[in-house]
Amino acid sequence: MNESGSLKKFQKELKVLFRSEDKDFNWGIYRIMNQKNAEITQFIDKELPKIVSEKITSLRSDFGSEIEQELSALEKSLYDAGVDPKTSPKYQDLLKKKKEGRSLSEFEDSIFNHLLEFFSHYYQDGDFINQFYFKDDQYLIPYDGSETMLHWATKDMYYVKSSDQYQRFSFQTPDEKKMVTFNVSVREEEKGNKKGTNKYFVLDADNLEWIDNELVCSFKNIFETDKISDFGKNKTERQQALNEEIVKDISEKLGEHGKGLDVKKNLVKFQKRYVEDFFIHKDLKGFLEGQMNFYINQEIVHIDSFINDDGSFNDDLKIIAKVFKDICKNIVEKLSLLEDLKKKICGRRACSVGKGRFISND
C-alpha cells in the first residue's frame, strides 16, 4: 500500500474538504458532519488507499492478460508461418511493453497527484471557489455551441453572507464537559456607499460569561479607533495583538476546562468565517463531473501522450484515467451531499447571484 507523500498530501486535503479536523465544532454544517466524521475518516485513512490499490491491481491484470493473449496468438501465427518470433519486431515490442509496465506505487503516486491537482483547482481552505479549469494561465469555461453565450464568474452559484450565516460559532472543550460559543454582539455598519476596510474584532468584556455549561464570548466588530491603532503598524499586526489579549481573557475564564484547547486557532477561524462571504454551487455534482471529464482529456489521456509512436494506446494511462475517474466520482458524490446540506442550512440567507432569487426551504 502506498505510504508516499502523494497519498498523505491528498488525505490531508480531503480532511479539509470534509471538515473532519473540525470535529469539536457543534453548529450548522459542522454538527451534521460530526455525525459522519467516523465514516469519512474511515474512508480517507483506510478505504481510499485500499480501493485505489485494488482497482489498479485488477486493471493491470486485465491489461496484462490482453498482452499475454496477443503474444500467444502472434507467436503461434509466426511459428505457423515458419518465422522465429525472436526475429519479429512486433513480437519484441509486445515483450518490451509487458516488461516496462509501471509499478503499483508509481500508479498510485500518479493517481493521487492528479486527484490533488484536480480538487485544488476548485477548493480553497475547504470552501468551493468559483473558477473553472485553467490551463496555461487561462480559465476554460464550458461552451454549448450557441452563437452567443453569457457567462459570469458566479454563474450557477448561491451567495451566502458569512456575517449572517455565522452568528454563533461553537465548539467543545477537550474534556467534552463544556461548550464555548463566539458571537458578535455589536457590528458597526459602513456608512453611505463607502465600504470600510479596517474593522476589528474586540472582546465585549461585559458579555464574557458562563451560561450553564456554555462560555459565551461576545465580540464587537468595529472600525479602527485611536486605541486600536496603537496595537501595531498595520491591520494584521493590530488584530493579532488584539487576539493575544482576547485569548488570554478567554483562557482565564475557561480555567481547567481550557487545558489542551487551541483558543487562538478557533478564534482566527471564527474571524475569517465571519468576514469572508462564500458561495454554494447549485449543481456541484454536475459541475465537478463535467470538469473531471475535461481534466482527464486534457491532463491524463491527451492525444500527445496517450498514443504511442507505433499508433497503439498507452495502457498505463488507461489505468490511471479509469481509477482517477472512479475515485473522483466517489468523492464528488460525497461533496455534493455536503453542498446540498449547506443549501438547506443557509436557507433564505443565500441568494442566487445576479438574479436576486433566494433559496427556498420548501
Residues 6+ apart with CB under 8 A from 87: none
Least Cα distance to 123 among 335, 352, 342 occurs for 335
Question: 277-312: per-residue pLDDT in tens?
Answer: 667 788 889 989 988 998 898 888 876 666 655 556
- Tell me what pLDDT residue 166 has: 53
Kindly tell me the burial class for residue 240, based on how many C-beta atoms sit within 10 Å of its own C-beta (0-12, 13-18, 19 or more). Answer: middle
What is the C-alpha separation between 6 and 274, in angstroms, rounded?
33
Helices 48-80 and 315-346 pack at an angle, to 10 degrees, of 150
pTM: 0.64
Instruction: Kindly state the helix (H) or strand (E) to which residue 272 belongs, with its residue range.
Output: helix 263-275
Reported confidence tier of residue 111, pLDDT bands at 50, 70, 90: very high
Q: Strands of the chain (E only): list them.
A: 123-124, 127-128, 134-135, 138-139, 157-160, 168-172, 179-187, 199-211, 214-223, 278-281, 350-352, 357-358
Domain boundaries, the chain: 5-142+279-358, 165-275
Average pLDDT over residues 104-129: 85
Question: 14-73: per-residue pLDDT in tens?
Answer: 888 776 555 555 555 566 666 667 788 888 889 999 999 999 888 877 565 566 666 667
CB atoms within 10 A of CB 351: 17
By three-state DSSP, how is residue 144 classified?
A: coil
Average pLDDT over residues 95-124: 80
What is the C-alpha separation between 88 and 83, in angstroms, rounded?
8
Higher per-residue confidence, 216 vs 197: 216
